[in-house]
Structure 1
Amino acid sequence: MTINWSWSSTGVEVADEYGENISGRTFLITGPSDGGIGAETALCLASGQPSTIVLAGRDRAKIQPVIDRISLISPRTNAIFVALDLSDQASVRDAATEISKQVDHIDVLINNAAIMACPYSTTKDNLEVQFATNFLGPFLFTGLLFPKLRAAAAGARIVNVSSSAHRFEGIRFDDIDFKSGKLYDTWKAYGQSKTALILMAIYIAEKVPNNEISAFSVHPGSIASNLQRHVDSESISDARIKSQNIVDYEATKRKSLEQGSATTLIAALDPSLEKYSGSYLSDGQLKRQADHAYGAENAEKLWHLGEHLLGQTFEL
């Protein structure tokens, strides 16, 4: 990396630095509701005059203000809303079909949407909700859109927004739903889902030449946003206790939304990162993730688990 990005770096600074890698390109962001880091990421990208920004999320009313602001920042940018509920596999498939009709290629896919530390429940597809929403939905979405990523002229990128909380739990390959909720721990379930996103990026990096598609995972930082709707003081205390026993846990003070979008944009835009495909970034820098979120063997096992749960394989 040519620039010493840090905790305090902002998305605007990153977009200014790498504007030539934004102009005229097509970006897809999941979970860009107003007031979140996905929205801030989109607005920073708009400053670089991209051709298209696809904004995929559940509630158009929460995303329309972002579309309106993109139109003010960059009137020539085509800002497209696509309905997407990552907890619902049918919705994911419908969204991928709609996007494939709307664009002929995707230069950068940012898997940003997530839920955090929510109570145990299952989805329509009878899967634990955090694993289904935070990993399996993006996994399916990415797999279905791979042809559009491959169609990018100058090498595409995939950025998975993970978390330092991945350090709370690896993949429970034989028990991803915590004994049907009997052993459920909200933070461990969140951690498992975020570990999965890291391993997903590693698998893609192992299988696809980095000059064709490169993949990264990032910890955006601790950010106050609508992601924390299920997090109360007791839950925060629990997370702090867990983090105290973890080596290399990224425990830092809260970032602003502007700072929180920076690492995602670095992973999406910095040309010097291409050779580091599969890497994990935090505070704008390459960082070693937890051992349970590392290695080709773990990544392949996770990929095949995802395919098994979906009943579908993906040719990369």
Structure 2
Amino acid sequence: MAALNGTSTADEVIETFSSSVNGRVFVITGAGQPSIGSQMALALAKASPAHILIASRTASKVEPVLAAIKELDDTIKTTFVQFDLTDHESVRAAAKAILDAAPRIDVLINSAGVMAVKEYTTDKQGIELQLSANHVGHFLLTNLLVPALAAAEGARVVNLTSSGYLISPFRFDDYNFSEGAAYNSWESYGQAKTANILFAHGLSKRLGHRGITGAAAHPGYNGDTKLGAHLTWDDYAAIGPLVKKNSGIDFAFEEPRFKTLGQIAATPLAAALDPGLEGALPAYIQNCEVVEVLGHAREEEAVEKLWALSEKLVGQKFAY
């Protein structure tokens, strides 16, 4: 990759890879303000993309982002599609609306998500909420958007993940935590983040021949996005023992421990735009660099089992 690192900003990434933005079509989920997604959208708007489409739950949080994009460059086409990732009917309707608005998608960034939901919660389909919002909804959306991704030359799908994948492998024998009886908010988060990485591998394996590749990007941590606003420092202290128990390693937050709003979008944008990554994908990107993940997040058996389970959960098979 280019000379980018953990302190690089989104604007620096855009400046480095501006040719990967110009004239292209981007779809970002969960880009309400303030969020990593909104920071990515605003950074992209500085390099003349043809179209930025934001799919998110709350219109009032997205409208300021679209207005800011227009202030930066009023020639950029912008579209908002409202949907709920945890409602599969809503995801299917959103996919249709996105395909109508963008018959070609160059980059899809699956940015929406939740973290460490304290109380066991299920979605409309009965799936544990963190798995639903962070993986299953995106699995369905991405596969439904394949016609538009395949229409591009070298489309890329970026799943936002986290070093939190170290907290837990995917619990294939009990992904729904015994209907709540075995629920742990961090293990649920770790399972979902592992799924994001495995899904990138599954996508690349099935769709690489159609020019579609997947990447998983760990953006780092920033408190301004409110993703962890419900958590205390004591809550974060529980991560280390869980990583040791489930992954067998000592956990340490990577540096920089905290990133600015300008920095938090850099790594996923590098994952989306860097042409030098082609030979490395699927890959896990951290601090704008490829980092090898533990076996539970890349092993072939886990990749295949997750794909099959995800098809079961959305009620549709996707064969390519």
Kindly, what percent of the aligned residue pairs are identical? 38
Q: Give how far 1:151 is off.
A: 0.6
Q: How does 1:69-218 map to 2 (within 5 A)?
A: 69-118=68-117, 119-152=119-152, 154-209=153-208, 212-218=211-217
TM-superposition CA deviations, 1:25-58 (whole Å, max 9, x none): 1000001011111100000100011010001100
Q: Distance in 1 between matches of 2:3 and 2:304?
A: 32
Q: Distance in 1 between matches of 2:56 and 2:205?
A: 29
CA contact 2:240–2:252 (8 Å) conserved in 1: no
Q: Give how far 1:311 is off.
A: 1.6
Q: How does 1:275-294 map to 2 (within 5 A)?
A: 275-294=279-298
TM-superposition CA deviations, 1:134-182 (whole Å, max 9, x none): 0000000001001110011x21000000000011011111110111111
User: Does the residue aligned with 2:239 lie in a helix, a strand or coil?
Assistant: helix
Give the partner amino acid of 1:161.
L
Counterpart selection for 1:257 from 246, 255, 261: 261
Q: Which residue of structure 2 aligns with residue 219 of structure 1?
A: 218
CA contact 1:202–1:295 (8 Å) conserved in 2: no
Give the partner amino acid of 1:289.
V
Q: Distance in 2 between matches of 1:112 and 1:249?
A: 24
Is residue 246 from structure 1 mapped to residue 245 from structure 2 by the alignment? no
CA contact 1:210–1:277 (8 Å) conserved in 2: no
Q: Give how far 1:289 is off.
A: 1.3
TM-superposition CA deviations, 1:110-143 (whole Å, max 9, x none): 0000000002111111110000110000000001
TM-score by length of 1: 0.96
Q: Give how far 1:243 is off.
A: 5.0
Is residue 20 from structure 1 mapped to residue 19 from structure 2 by the alignment? yes
Q: Distance in 1 between matches of 2:230 and 2:116?
A: 6
Distance 1:232 1:203, change over 3 A: same
Q: Give how far 1:275 is off.
A: 1.2
Q: Give how far 1:211 is off.
A: 7.1
Bigger mean CA deviation after superposition, 226-235 or 58-67:
226-235
Give the partner amino acid of 2:58.
D
Give the partner amino acid of 2:123.
T
Q: Which residue of structure 1 aligns with residue 235 of structure 2?
A: 235
User: Does the residue aligned with 1:55 lie in a helix, a strand or coil?
Assistant: strand
Q: Give how far 1:290 is off.
A: 2.1
Q: Give how far 1:208 is off.
A: 2.4
CA contact 2:177–2:183 (8 Å) conserved in 1: yes
Q: Which residue of structure 1 aligns with residue 313 of structure 2?
A: 309
TM-score by length of 2: 0.95
Q: Distance in 1 between matches of 2:249 and 2:260?
A: 25
CA contact 1:117–1:187 (8 Å) conserved in 2: yes
Q: Give how far 1:227 is off.
A: 1.0
Give the partner amino acid of 1:311.
G
| RMSD, matched Cα | 1.5
CA contact 2:267–2:287 (8 Å) conserved in 1: yes
Q: Give how far 1:293 is off.
A: 0.4
TM-superposition CA deviations, 1:72-110 (whole Å, max 9, x none): 111110111100211111111111011111111100000
Structure 2 unaligned residues grouped into runs of 5+: none
Give the partner amino acid of 1:279.
A
CA contact 2:109–2:158 (8 Å) conserved in 1: yes
Q: Distance in 1 between matches of 2:209 and 2:163?
A: 25
Q: Distance in 2 between matches of 1:57 and 1:231?
A: 23
CA contact 2:83–2:91 (8 Å) conserved in 1: yes
User: Does the residue aligned with 1:205 lie in a helix, a strand or coil?
Assistant: helix
Q: Give how far 1:210 is off.
A: 6.5
Give the partner amino acid of 1:235.
D
Aligned length in residues:
314
